[in-house]
Structure 1
Amino acid sequence: MILEVDAETVVSYLSGTKLAHINIVSWTRHLLRPLKKAGLTLSVDIQDVIDPDDFYREDYVREADVLFFSSTNFSDPSFLIEKYLEIRSDRIVICGLGNKGCVVGNEKGIEHFDPIELAEPVVDTNGAGDSFAAGFLSSYILEGYSIREAVLRGQIAARYCCTKKGVSSELITKDHLDLLFEEKSEASGQLP
């Protein structure tokens, strides 16, 4: 079965939005250029990369303005970030490292961010990467936070997700994220 979605319908439906976060299921491939042409910022999660030259992910890697991937198969993702920035230097590339934090690259360089802690224990990591992406993207693209601030907000959302057992109904709210962000920012000296 081949799923085909009409690109014009999708672009029309997303009219007035700033951002599209795309998963790498094959039917989304033909939406990449129309969404870019419509002026949306494209975020793509290419998941757990095995081969940096993977043909299947090539379109997604080329078109993404913000590119997420997991470090599951690489202990040091720096060379992958560099490779993806060589393809397009005008983007942000983010690699989640699980309990080791994350690595973020852009045209200014590559930076490692240590993990953050919350009082509640980790009970389930399912959904942490998606929570990080949602926290980062909403903060950076939609609310205008700096990259560093958006990374912290993404980390808070991801870590909070890990305190819940596999239910999306208990994900962090914006108000709770704002509160934890203020606490963590003051503790780390990020806010004046």
Structure 2
Amino acid sequence: MSRNTDVLVLGGAGVDTIVQVPELPLPYADSYMIESGVHTRAGQTGDFVALGLTALGLRVHHLDLLGDDSEGDLVRALHEERGIGLTAVPQPLGTKRAVNLVGPDGRRLSLYDISRSAPEDRFPEDTVRALAAACRHAHVSITHPCADTLPLLRESGVTISTDLHNWDGENPYHEPFALAADLVFLSTTALADREKVMRRIAREGRARAVVATAGAEGAYLLADDELTHVPTVTPPAPVVDSNGAGDAFAAAFLYGHLSGEPLARCAEYGAIAGAHACTVPATRADAISRDGLLAEARRNAR
């Protein structure tokens, strides 16, 4: 069968409500006046990865559960506007949503509404098999019920990536994702010993590469049993929000990987895209273009 999709993104579709707060942690008070307003827009982890990949010129399809609600309408509209294929499985409980409190330095605190999923939620197996048969690669979000798709994706023969986000290296929920993926991304935020966890993922799972992002410290790449540091890239504009930086990193890394670039170059692409994402206000869902990414990579090489 012809694989006419570059990347199938599973899960992570939803809506965020953005609130700019004067500081984080936010001290208790009866009320705060929010001069910048309260903004609701489509875009959670799967949406951002799909958006980033599409902006880099890859053919993308997104699969997730969506409700017949205003939040679901925002997600559908984002995909239609950006030309991203979408298969929406009906979710009677509604579309995933969150509230993001964003501080002046761009840091965020996310409050996730977990009432919009149920343990028995599943993607139709026939749908997963058909979409997997048409793609080169699958990026699997850790949102429920994506773990159940991992065996089906392995059977299809596609390569798999995942982002464990702020895994602590111990929570068993994340392990199926960590051990089934060929490329594993995660944040160092909750890791007491990042190298130990990265090497465990590589040793016990299938990962050809494990990448741990560390914010202003850069990132770390484990490949061929060698751990290397990936330096930060100076953002092209003031940092206003870190939301979506990890997703941008993953998307640009995958662009490089699917283009046949060495892993070190893929990580450089990720650092460039992550830095760009930090300059985009949380109220917008934008991503670096392929021309912009390659131009910045050329500047870095000088």
Corresponding residue of 1:38: 156
Task: Please state whether the residue corresponding to 1:117 is helix, strand or coil.
Answer: coil
Q: Residue type of the partner of 1:162?
A: C
Corresponding residue of 1:181: 297
RMSD of aligned C-alpha atoms?
1.5
Query: For residues 13-92 of structure 1, what are the structure 2 equivalents within 5 Å?
Result: 13-50=131-168, 52-74=169-191, 76-88=193-205, 90-92=207-209
Q: 1:102: how far off?
A: 0.2
| Residue-by-residue CA offset, 1:101-149 (whole Å, 9 max, x unaligned) | 0001122311111111134121111000000000001111x21111111
Give TM-score, length-normalised by structure 2: 0.58
Query: For residues 131-146 of structure 1, what are the structure 2 equivalents within 5 Å?
Result: 131-140=248-257, 142-146=258-262
Gaps of 5+ in 2: 1-117
Please say if residues 131 and 158 of structure 1, whose CA atoms lie closer than 8 Å, have aligned partners that are also in contact. Answer: yes
Please say if residues 124 and 163 of structure 1, whose CA atoms lie closer than 8 Å, have aligned partners that are also in contact. Answer: yes
Matched length: 183
Q: Residue type of the partner of 1:8?
A: D
Query: For residues 87-102 of structure 1, what are the structure 2 equivalents within 5 Å?
Result: 87-88=204-205, 90-102=207-219
Supply the distance in 2 between the matched residues of 1:92 and 1:183 (Cα, whole angstroms).
26
Q: Residue type of the partner of 2:163?
A: D
Please say if residues 167 and 186 of structure 2, whose CA atoms lie closer than 8 Å, have aligned partners that are also in contact. Answer: yes
Please say if residues 184 and 207 of structure 2, whose CA atoms lie closer than 8 Å, have aligned partners that are also in contact. Answer: no
Structure 1 or 2: more helix by fraction: 1
Identity %, equivalent residues = 26
Structure 1 or 2: more strand by fraction: 2
Higher alpha-carbon deviation: 83-92 or 61-70: 83-92
Supply the distance in 2 between the matched residues of 1:90 and 1:138 (Cα, whole angstroms).
17
Q: Residue type of the partner of 2:252?
A: G
Question: Runs of 4 or more off by more than 3 Å in structure 1?
Answer: none
Give TM-score, length-normalised by structure 1: 0.89
Matched, 1:110 2:227: yes
